[in-house]
């Protein structure tokens, strides 16, 4: 009898017992998040939960204040605490839970550039079993138009973290880059390699799935010549870094040069991209003239309308006139010379700030989206780059990267451009051979701007659209801060006997090549005299190309 009574009492106690591992602390309610995309499917988002006083509340599994000096996947720390306040955001997926004391809260969720931001006021009461639904809907569906966003450049987090965060940020393609750094090594050749363990050749990372592609590539570096991105490699291009202690190159030699590494990569069918244009840039006029560069990553570090003060100093951009010209204008001068280099972009993500895809490449693929079709879309120039605005642009029905041919006489073109953005920008512009020739102001809830114009041009060359804003995004006060902006790869205009005027542009790069020659002769370290002679021979070849451009009419 006693045993039966004790058993009954014990069972009753179990029914009313609170299990501390399954329940929140007293005075808090456990809330489950129901997160859906526009089709009603479970989704991930970037989330910030705050009360009326602005205090941040972290979901379970996330820290209320991550250490900005440590790399922590799953959290985002925007701002710098000086010019902009530090704000913690958590990457969360459908079903995530959060413990909250009763109060009124704002659930602020974002998911890339195409989804309407959600700022949802919610009152949390003391009872258990509460659910907050976040319904994320696209205000514009660029993927339905055949444009897919990706990030060409990141070093953090690991592939599983990338796969998780890219879905929360509305990305389809991500390139994780291996590199070698000698910052703290003390002797040439030392330092550390990063992400080599993730390199699988042409294979996708196992975390990839239908519609989401992660692949490891390489950033080949020299502290003055260039940083090059190789995507879709079959095998690593060794020695990964060359030069002195900053990059930790073998023996400290300034050899091989970037043109050797790019030749190796291109023989493998890889896409070659100039990382965080134009830092560093000693070798740019050489490699671009010799046709070794497929794209430049424009919107990665700082505003393309002004040189970044820290990067200018780090990479010693002093001397030639071109080093005082804004990065975007430098790109325009290469286009004026007749070189066709597509625009791309990535975040260069190394820690909790900036977000993955802070600067991203939208690619119009031929056929269904795959990693290969996305890469080939960049190679063909079917791209626009963006930090928020979504951009449409055609000339006589042709899109970015395509070519129009004209006979004698004036060049008449029909230009269509349209931009929308969840972050405001100032103006939508049409640029021809480096000059703004048409513009329109945005208006309305999503900063809609559009134009359709027939323009008569005296010369061919190139024409592009850009959406430009003065607002700087909170990705660090000095390093990753970027404007709200988008820019399309140009449409190229071949007009018989009337190319873009390029004498001034060619002179800029001839001066830079002479600067490179002096550096190679007086300062660079080569393993053998033959290597030095080879480098000088390449410079002479490039000088001949620019002399031909300068003398053309």
Would you say how long the chain is, in residues? 553
Q: Do 465 and 453 belong to one domain?
A: yes
Contact between 181 and 220 under an 8 Å Cβ cutoff? The reply is no
Instruction: Tell whether omega for the bond before 141 is within 30 degrees of 0, i.e. cis.
Output: no
540 and 475 in a common domain:
no
Q: Are 362 and 446 contained in the same domain?
A: no
Question: Do 193 and 310 share a domain, yes or no?
Answer: yes
Q: Is residue 2 in some structural domain?
A: no
Is position 10 within any domain? Answer: no
**Predicted local distance difference test score (pLDDT) of residue 449:** 98
Q: Is the peptide bond before 480 cis (omega within 30 degrees of 0)?
A: no
Per residue in 280-289, pLDDT (tens digit) is: 999 999 999 9
Give yes or no: residues 102 and 155 share one domain: no
CATH label of the domain that carries residue 489: 2.60.40.10
Assess whether 179 and 316 both reside in one domain. yes
SS3 category, 458 = coil
Query: Which tokens in the block code for residue 132?
Result: 């907050």
How far apart, in whole angstroms, are the C-alpha atoms of residue 462 and residue 335? 7
Which domain CATH number covers 261?
3.20.20.140
What are the Cα distances from residue 225, in Å, to 77, 279, 320, 514, 539? Answer: 32, 9, 14, 14, 13
422: tokens are: 């969840």
Indicate the number of domains in the chain: 3
pLDDT at 11: 42
Q: Within a domain: residue 11?
A: no
Asked whether residue 107 falls in the same domain as residue 183, the answer is no
| Intra-chain end-to-end CA distance of the chain, in Å | 111
Domain stops at, among 466, 481, 496: 496
List pLDDT tens digits, range 176-194: 999 998 766 666 667 789 9
Encode the chain (553 residues) as per-residue pLDDT tens digits. Answer: 445 543 443 343 334 444 567 789 889 999 999 999 989 999 999 999 999 999 999 999 998 877 666 656 678 988 877 777 889 999 999 999 999 999 999 999 999 999 999 999 999 998 778 999 999 999 999 999 999 999 999 999 999 999 999 999 999 999 999 999 876 666 666 778 999 999 999 999 999 998 999 999 999 999 999 999 999 999 999 999 999 877 877 778 999 999 999 999 999 999 999 999 999 999 999 999 999 999 999 998 889 999 998 889 989 999 999 999 999 999 999 999 999 999 999 999 988 889 999 999 999 999 999 999 999 999 999 999 999 999 999 999 999 999 999 998 899 999 999 999 999 999 999 999 999 999 999 999 899 999 999 999 999 999 999 999 999 998 866 667 899 999 999 999 999 999 999 999 999 999 999 999 999 999 999 999 999 999 999 999 999 999 999 998 6
**Final residue belonging to a domain, choices 135, 170, 203:** 135
Which of 496, 529, 544 delimits the end of a domain? 496
Domain assignment present for 1: no
Best CA proximity match to 122, nearest among 113, 111, 130 = 130
Q: What is the DSSP letter of 476?
A: I
Residues 230 and 364 in one domain: yes
Would you say residue 9 lies in a domain? no
* 14 is a domain residue: no
Residue 249 φ/ψ, nearest 5 degrees: -70, 155
Angle at 206 between CA 200 and CA 212, to 5 degrees: 110
Give the domain CATH number at 127. 2.60.40
The token pair that represents 412 in the structure block: 């008449």
Asked whether residue 20 is domain-assigned, the answer is: no
Domain, as residue range, for 151: 142-383+502-553
Q: Are residues 470 and 514 in the same domain?
A: no
Q: Contact 74/161 with Cβ under 8 angstroms?
A: yes
Q: Are 364 and 144 in contact (CB under 8 A)?
A: no
Q: Are residues 164 and 291 in the same domain?
A: yes
Residues 358 and 416 in one domain: no
The whole-angstrom separation of Cα 294 and Cα 288 is 9
Q: Is residue 364 part of a domain?
A: yes
Task: Give the residue among 143, 78, 75, 136 at the shortest CA–CA distance from 111.
Answer: 136
Same domain, 438 and 361: no
């Amino acid at each position: 009898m006693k045993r039966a009574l004790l058993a009954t009492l014990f069972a009753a106690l179990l029914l009313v017992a609170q299990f501390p591992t399954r329940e929140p602390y007293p005075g808090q309610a456990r809330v489950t998040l129901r997160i859906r995309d526009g089709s009603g499917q479970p989704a991930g988002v970037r989330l910030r939960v705050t009360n009326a006083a602005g205090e941040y509340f972290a979901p379970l599994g996330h820290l209320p204040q991550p250490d900005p000096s440590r790399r922590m996947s799953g959290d985002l720390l925007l701002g710098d605490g000086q010019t902009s306040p530090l704000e913690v955001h958590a990457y969360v997926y459908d079903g995530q839970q959060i413990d909250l004391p009763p109060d009124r809260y704002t659930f602020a969720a974002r998911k890339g550039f195409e989804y309407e931001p959600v700022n949802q006021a919610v009152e949390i009461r003391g009872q258990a079993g509460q659910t907050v639904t976040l319904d994320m809907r696209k205000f514009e569906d660029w993927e339905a138009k055949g444009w897919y966003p990706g990030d060409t450049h990141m070093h953090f987090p690991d592939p599983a973290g990338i796969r998780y965060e890219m879905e929360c940020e509305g990305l389809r393609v991500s390139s994780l880059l291996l590199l070698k750094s000698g910052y703290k090594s003390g002797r040439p050749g030392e330092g550390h390699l990063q992400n080599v363990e993730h390199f699988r050749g042409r294979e996708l990372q196992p975390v990839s799935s239908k519609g989401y592609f992660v692949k490891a590539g390489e950033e080949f570096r020299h502290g003055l010549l260039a940083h090059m991105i190789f995507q879709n490699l079959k095998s690593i291009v060794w020695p990964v870094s060359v030069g002195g202690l900053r990059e930790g190159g073998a023996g400290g030699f300034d050899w091989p040069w970037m043109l050797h590494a790019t030749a190796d990569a291109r023989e493998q069918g890889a896409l070659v991209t100039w990382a965080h244009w134009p830092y560093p840039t000693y070798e740019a006029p050489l490699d671009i003239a010799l046709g070794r560069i497929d794209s430049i990553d424009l919107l990665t570090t700082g505003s393309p309308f002004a040189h970044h003060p820290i990067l200018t100093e780090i990479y010693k951009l002093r001397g030639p006139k071109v080093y005082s010209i804004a990065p975007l204008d430098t790109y325009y001068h290469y286009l004026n010379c007749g070189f066709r280099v597509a625009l791309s972009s990535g975040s260069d993500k190394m820690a909790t700030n900036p977000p993955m895809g802070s600067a991203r490449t939208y690619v119009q693929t031929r056929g269904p989206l795959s990693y290969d079709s996305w890469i080939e879309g960049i190679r063909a120039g079917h791209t626009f780059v963006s930090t928020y605005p979504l951009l449409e642009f055609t000339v006589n029905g042709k899109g970015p990267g395509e070519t129009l041919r004209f006979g004698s006489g004036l060049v008449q073109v029909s230009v269509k451009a349209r931009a929308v953005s969840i972050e405001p920008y100032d103006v939508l512009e049409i640029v021809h051979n480096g000059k703004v020739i048409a513009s329109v102001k945005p208006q309305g809830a999503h900063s809609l701007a559009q134009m359709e114009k027939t323009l008569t041009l005296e010369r061919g060359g190139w024409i592009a659209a850009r959406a430009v804003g003065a607002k700087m995004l909170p990705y660090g006060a000095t390093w990753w801060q970027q404007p709200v902006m988008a820019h399309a790869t140009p449409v190229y205009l071949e007009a018989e006997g009337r190319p873009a005027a390029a004498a001034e542009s060619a002179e800029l790069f001839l001066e830079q090549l002479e600067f490179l020659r002096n550096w190679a002769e007086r300062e660079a370290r080569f393993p053998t005299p033959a290597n030095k002679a080879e480098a000088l021979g390449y410079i002479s070849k490039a000088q001949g190309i620019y002399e031909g451009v300068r003398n053309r009419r």
